[in-house]
Amino acid sequence: LKVPKEKISDKFISDVKQRVTSVTDINPAISEQQLKDALIAAFTEGKESGFGKPSDKEMAEAEKLARERYSSEEWNNLR
């Protein structure tokens, strides 16, 4: 994580490492697959969810977004 000094100068911290951690700091033994499974479980807890094929309605909405928003020069040059 690379944060410019200006971003943290008013936060009274000398190093951004004081404010962040990593998965390996918390659990060095966790595998990538275990992490993926844990994230999926956490985000889907209490919800009906599953992996499958997008519905026709979802595909139509995705195509509309791609065409109307994500293909525009304005969207692609936001930075």
Range of the domain at 22: 5-76
pLDDT for the residue numbered 74:
86
Residue 79 exposure: Cα atoms within 13 Å on the Cβ side: 1
Domain count, the chain: 1
Under 8 Å between Cβ of 29 and 10: no
What does pLDDT average to in each consecutive run of 10 residues of the chain (79 residues)?
67 67 90 94 86 92 95 82
pLDDT for the residue numbered 12:
64
pLDDT for the residue numbered 35:
95
Q: Is 7 exposed, middle or buried (0-12, 13-18, 19+ CB in 10 A)?
A: exposed
CB within 8 Å of 1: residues ≥ 6 apart? 16, 20
